[in-house]
Structure 1
Amino acid sequence: MCGRTACTLGPDELCKACSTQIVTSDGKKQYQAPQWQDHPGNYSYTPSCNMAPSRFTPVMISEHHVRGTKRAIEGEGLSPQYVIHPMMWGLIPPYYKGSSRTGHGYSTTNCRYEGIEEKKTYKPSLTKGQRCVVLCDGFYEWQTTKGDKNKQPYFIHAPQPEGVEIWNRESWDKPDVWSEEEGWKGPHLLKMAGLFSSWLSTEGEKVMSYSVLTMESGKKFSSLHHRIPAILETNQEVEDWLDFGRIGYKEALVILKNEVEVEWHPVSKTVNNSRNQEPNMNAPVSLDKKPPETASSKLMSAWLSKGTVKKESPSITPIKKETVVSNEKEEKPFSFKNWLKKECDNSASNK
C-alpha cells in the first residue's frame, strides 16, 4: 500500500521536473514544462516531507481534461500537453452525497489493481479516462524488523542522477538546474499511476480527488512489503497512461507492472506521526542500536575525559616470608583434662 509520501518541490519546480522535449514549429528541439493549475476554492498545495491522506498534493493530467476535449485538434501539434493540478489524496466516491469531502467513510487512499474494473468507486473514473500521474519525491513504507514490535519506516524513491540526493536540497538546488536547452537536472520524481474524480458537494463545493493504484509486489520489493504502487518509469509510460483518447483503459491497465527500479533507505520514526512536519524526515538514518550522539552528550564526554585523573596503584614491595624461631617453649593449648589431672596429683602429694 501507499499511505504516506514526501513532496517537497514548489509548483514551479514540479513543472520543470516534469518537462519533456518537444520539437517546435521551426524544427528546434527544446524542453517544455507543463502548466500549473490551482484547485478551485481555498484548497492549495503546501510542500511537505510527510504527506498524509486528505492533503492536497500535485498530480499530472492530460490538458484535454481541462479543455474538455478528448483528442488533440488536428494541426495543433503532436507533443502531449499536461497540466499539474493539486488534488485531495483519497478519491471521493462518485455516488457519495454529502456536504463534507471526507465524510463518506471509505478508505480510498489506494485502489487495488486486482478487480478494479468491478469496483463502483473506481469504474466511472476508468471509463471516463480520468487517469492521472501522482507526483512525489517518494513514499514511505513500514517493515516489521526481527525481534522488534515497532515498525521501521523506509523511504522509497526513484534512482537519482549522480551527486543528487533527493532529501538534500543543497545537492541539486543550483541556478542552472533547469533550462529549455537541457531540461531538468534536479532530482527525479517518483511517478505513480492513479485515478481521479471531480465531486460536487450538496453545498455546491467542487473537489478534485485521486487514488493511487497498487499491485502485488515484484520479487525485489517484496522483501520490504507485499504491495507496491503502480510506478511509471519512462516518459512513454507516462504518456500512454495519460493519453485516454489514444489508449483505452483496458490497454492502459496492461501497461502497469510491479517490477520496477526503486531504491530505499531507513528513516527516522518521527515520520510515523503525520502531524510531524520537520524537514528532511526522508533522509537516511542508521539502524545501529547505539543512540545518536547529541551536542550535549558530546560536551559531557569531553568534560569527563578532561576532568578525570587516572589513579595509579601504589608500588608495593612483596615481603619475604621467613620462619621465626622462638627461644621459649611453645605454650600448649589449655586442656581441662590435663588441668584436672594436675590438681589431683598435687592433692595426693600433700597428704
Structure 2
Amino acid sequence: MCGRYVMARAAGDLVAELEAEADASLELRASWNVAPTTDVPIVLERIIDGAVHRQIHVAKWGLVPGWAKDPAVGVRAFNARSETVLEKPTFRAAIKSRRCAVPVEGYYEWKKLPDGKSKQPYFVHTPGGELITFAGLYEWWKDPGKDDGADDQWLLSCSILTMASPPSGELASLHDRLPVPLSGEGLGQWLDPENKTPGPLLDAALDQAWELAAAWVLDPVAAAVGNVRNNGPELIAAVAP
C-alpha cells in the first residue's frame, strides 16, 4: 500500500521533469511526510481546443466520487486496489476517463519485526533520487452546500493504485502491497484522455511495475516518521535497522 510519501520538489521542477503545464500561481509545500487527506500534486492530461495538454494540479489525497454525499468518503479511498478498481463503484468511472499520476520522491512502509509487535519504517526510493510517478485516479466533487461559482465549490481528489508485491525479494518482505509505478512511456499511455478502455491500460501498467520497482532502494529510517507532525529532510536519513 502507500500511506505516507515524500514530495519536496518545487512546482517549477515538476513542470520541467514531467513536461507539463501549471498555473503561474501554483505553489507546492515541500513535505517529507505526506499523509492521506492532505493536498498533493498530481499530473493529468486534458483536451483543450482539440489539443492534449499535460497539467499539474493540486488534489486532496483520498478520492471522493461525484455521487458521494459527503467528502469524508475520501478518507477510505486514498489507495485503489488494482484487482477491483474496474468494478468498485468508487473508482470505476474515474479509471475510464480520469486517470492521473501522483509524483513522489519515495514512500514509507513499515516492516513487522520478528517479535511480531514492533515495526521498522523504511524509505523506498530510486537510487539516484529520480522522481517516481504512481498510477492514480482523480475525481471532481461538487459541494451541494456551496453557492454556484464559489471558489471552493469543487473539490479535486485523487487515489493511488496498488497491486500485489513481487513474490520474492526485499519488497515482498516489506509489505504485501505495492503502489504501481509508471515508466516514462507508460505515463503517457496511462494519462491519455482519449483512451476510454482502461482494462488494457491497467494490464500494461501492472506488467511493468515489478521490473521498475526492482531498482528501488529500501533504507531503514527513524521512527519519527510515524508522527505526521514531524516533517523535515531528516526523516529520510538512513539509520541502523
Q: CA deviation at 1:209?
A: 0.4
Secondary structure, counterpart of 1:141 in structure 2: strand
Whether the aligned pair in 1 keeps the contact of 2:37 and 2:75 (CA below 8 Å) is: no
Whether the aligned pair in 2 keeps the contact of 1:38 and 1:86 (CA below 8 Å) is: no
* 1:35 is the counterpart of 2:4: no
Q: Which residue matches 2:76? A: 107
Q: Which residue matches 1:283? A: 237
Q: Distance in 1 between matches of 2:21 and 2:228?
A: 29
1:157 to 1:247, Cα distance in 2 relative to 1, 3 A: farther
* 1:47 is the counterpart of 2:30: yes
Q: Which residue matches 2:117? A: 149
Amino acid at match of 2:165: S
1:104-137 CA-to-partner distances (Å, cap 9, x unmatched) read 375101010112111000011123x100010011
Secondary structure, counterpart of 1:35 in structure 2: coil
Report which stretch shifted further, 107-116 or 144-153: 144-153
1:4-59 CA-to-partner distances (Å, cap 9, x unmatched) read 011011111111222xxxxxxxxxxxxxx31113899xxx6311000001111111
Whether the aligned pair in 2 keeps the contact of 1:139 and 1:156 (CA below 8 Å) is: yes
Secondary structure, counterpart of 2:41 in structure 1: strand
1:274-315 CA-to-partner distances (Å, cap 9, x unmatched) read 11113331121122xxxxxxxxxxxxxxxxxxxxxxxxxxxx
Consecutive unaligned residues in structure 2, runs of 5 or more: 147-152
User: Computing the radius of gyration over CA atoms, which structure comes out larger, 1 or 2?
Assistant: 1
Q: Distance in 1 between matches of 2:154 and 2:232?
A: 31
Q: Which residue matches 2:186? A: 237
Q: Which residue matches 1:207? A: 155
Report which stretch shifted further, 144-153 or 88-97: 144-153
Q: What is the root-mean-square deviation of aligned Cα atoms in Å?
A: 2.1
Q: Distance in 2 between matches of 1:248 and 1:117?
A: 10
Amino acid at match of 1:46: R
Q: Which residue matches 1:264? A: 218
Aligned residues: 228
Q: Which residue matches 1:250? A: 199
Give 1:1-351 correspondences, 5 Å limit: 1-18=1-18, 33-37=19-23, 45-64=28-47, 67=48, 72-73=50-51, 81-98=53-70, 101=71, 103-104=72-73, 106-127=75-96, 129-147=97-115, 149-160=117-128, 166=129, 188-204=130-146, 205-218=153-166, 219-220=168-169, 221-232=171-182, 234-246=183-195, 248-257=197-206, 258-259=209-210, 260=212, 261=214, 262-287=216-241
User: Normalising by the residue count of structure 1, what TM-score does the alignment of the two structures yield?
Assistant: 0.61
Whether the aligned pair in 2 keeps the contact of 1:240 and 1:247 (CA below 8 Å) is: no
1:226-281 CA-to-partner distances (Å, cap 9, x unmatched) read 1101111x211111101131462111111122413322111111000111113331
Amino acid at match of 2:240: S
Q: Distance in 1 between matches of 2:122 and 2:90?
A: 30
Q: Distance in 2 between matches of 1:87 and 1:39?
A: 15
User: Normalising by the residue count of structure 2, what TM-score does the alignment of the two structures yield?
Assistant: 0.87
Q: Following superposition, which runs of at least 4 residues in structure 1 exceed 3 angstroms of deviation?
A: 37-40
Structure showing the higher strand proportion among its residues: 2
Percent identity of paired positions between Structure 1 and Structure 2: 30
Whether the aligned pair in 2 keeps the contact of 1:39 and 1:87 (CA below 8 Å) is: no
Q: Distance in 2 between matches of 1:225 and 1:265?
A: 14
1:322-351 CA-to-partner distances (Å, cap 9, x unmatched) read xxxxxxxxxxxxxxxxxxxxxxxxxxxxxx
Whether the aligned pair in 2 keeps the contact of 1:59 and 1:87 (CA below 8 Å) is: yes
Amino acid at match of 2:176: H
Whether the aligned pair in 2 keeps the contact of 1:38 and 1:85 (CA below 8 Å) is: no
Q: Distance in 2 between matches of 1:238 and 1:252?
A: 10
1:88-112 CA-to-partner distances (Å, cap 9, x unmatched) read 10001322124xx3x3375101010
